[in-house]
Amino acid sequence: MKGHWRSAAVLTASVLAGSSPLHAHEDCDDIPQKQRAVVASGESVGPRSQPAAAVTIQLCQYQPGQLEIKAGTTVTWVNQDDIRHTVTLGTPERQENVSLDFPAKGATASYTFDRPGVYEYFCDRHPAMRGQIHVQ
Amino acid sequence: MKIACEKFVGAAVMVALLGAYTASAFAAEMNHHGAMSSDLRTGLNSLFREHVFLAAGATGAALAGRDGEFKAAAGALDGNSIDIAKAIGAVYGAGAEQAFLPLWRKHIGFVVDYTVGVATKDDAKKNKAVTDLVQYTQDFGAFLASANPNLPKDVVANLVKDHVLTLKDVIDAQATGDMNKTFMAIRSAAGHMGMIADPLAAAIVKQFPERFANR
């Protein structure tokens, strides 16, 4: 497993079908079924990664919009808007198969980036919302 | 009918010209510390009412099949959208401005969808556009609630919902060709924008009292 999901509070991880050039696709597909079930329950999955980074979702923006992290870092997003947002890897034109759902204000979700690369993401309800993770 | 249409076009152009000056001046004004709260209120009122007049100009032209006029009105309407986003940015920063603009444009797209549905007598398209617009009010309410704790999401959403419904009345009236009904609906829709602009201005002043002199 090259990366893993971890949840806090109200996390719903949506794993969509399809191929992906990004490692994140493989990350998600590599999560065993048992672990996916644990993710849905809100408990932590796999070994906890360090360090961590945080992104706030507020005013229909990911703040910070660009983040540089080291491989193995777990990024946690927190929704501060009173509306549903997502963190969906890829772009609206080329959506990847990984999507975190933030159904309401206060929802959080995390994702660990184990492989270097540039990961773009967006909100599938508000496609103008874009973020980028640079994993070194 | 022809005379009525020409009057309508003339009114839309005049409002656009007046609005363009007001909006630009407003955006510049809000960048200065010590701006007057009255400037904020009147500036937002101008921008939002201009939005209605230009939107009505665009939908009226679209329904009548006047493509050139529609494109011109749509262009002016987008200029108004940019000015409204700048006004938001003047208060909440460039990031908020960039986030607000596509959100605002989104509801204009739904209004266009509704207009196309009316023009083509496609009830399914009309109903979907209304559903999208109602859902949009929640997004808009959430955005302003995030920006300003003095603006409850549901209150904003309901006010924007009324805006959507009054604009829908305009389009429905335009489709009937009844100019009296159309202009009454436009007046009503434009007048309603004060119900959004005034509380928004008041909430901003309450949030940033140091930035707005109490006048």
Cα distance between residue B179 and residue B165, in whole Å: 19
Nearest by CB to B95, from A61, A80, A125: name it. Answer: A61
Question: Which of B101, B108, B134, B139 to probe the A interface (max A CBs under 10 A)?
Answer: B139
Cβ-contact A122, A129 below 8 angstroms: yes
Cα distance between residue A121 and residue B6, in whole Å: 48
Taking the whole predicted model, whether its pTM rises above 0.95 is answered as: no
Nearest residue in chain A measured CA to CA from B101: A128
Task: Give residue-wise pLDDT tens across range A6-33.
Answer: 433 333 333 333 333 233 333 333 333 3
Q: Which domains does chain A have, with CATH numbers?
A: 5-42+49-135 (2.60.40.420)
Encoding tokens for residue B93? 């920063």
Nearest residue in chain A measured CA to CA from B96: A59
Cβ separation of A63 and B92 shorter than 8 Å? no
Total of domains in chain B: 1
R_g (Cα) of chain A, nearest Å: 13
Q: At what angle do helices B37-64 and B153-176 cross, to 10 degrees?
A: 40
Cβ-contact A115, A43 below 8 angstroms: no
Q: What is the DSSP string of A62-124?
A: EESSEEEE-TTEEEEEEE-SSS-EEEEEE-SSSEEEEEEEE-STT-EEEEEE-S-EEEEEE-S
| Signed CA dihedral, B189, B190, B191, B193: sign only | positive
Residue B78 at interface with chain A, using a CB cutoff of 8 Å: no
Report the gap between the CA of B32 and the closest CA in chain A (Å): 23
- According to DSSP, residue A134 is labeled E
Residues of the domain holding B59: 2-213
φ, ψ for residue A39, nearest 5 deg: -55, -45
Position A14: which residue type? S
Per-residue confidence in pLDDT tens, chain B, 215 aa: 444 444 444 444 444 444 454 556 666 666 555 677 888 999 999 999 999 999 999 999 999 999 999 999 999 999 999 999 999 999 999 999 999 999 999 999 999 999 999 999 999 999 999 999 999 999 999 999 999 999 999 999 999 999 999 999 999 999 999 999 999 999 999 999 999 999 999 999 999 988 887 65
